[in-house]
Amino acid sequence: MTSRARDLGTYPVHLGMGGRVEAQPAFTGMEWYEDYARRVAADGTEGRLVSMHEFTGDWDGWEMHPAGDELVVCLAGEMTLIQELPDGVLHSETIGAGQYLVNPAGV
């Protein structure tokens, strides 16, 4: 039997309505997200993207999910997550391998 295993860093998945798991095309860069949004639009705010990225340095920008929480998991090493809370206060927390933080919707 041929392996059907995929690398999550290359091929994200969508968790859709009714417990569906839908493999996605290879991640190609920021434009990929627009195409993803069109592919899964019918799931509205209940759909979830599961992806994995490797970073070796600080991000140079901020991002926020207005309609749903985001789960941030550190798989190896450690990372510092800086969250801008609704009152404008910045919360900084360092997590290590196997730990996670939640970015609530709007943070």
pLDDT in tens, 41-50: 999 989 999 9
Residue 60 has pLDDT above 90, yes or no: no
Q: Where are the domains of the chain?
A: 1-53, 56-107
- Of 55, 90, 95, nearest in space to 72 by CA: 95
pLDDT for the residue numbered 3: 83
pLDDT for the residue numbered 61: 83
The predicted model gives 13-32 an average pLDDT of 95
Look up the pTM and report it: 0.84
pLDDT for the residue numbered 41: 96
Q: Is 12 exposed, middle or buried (0-12, 13-18, 19+ CB in 10 A)?
A: buried
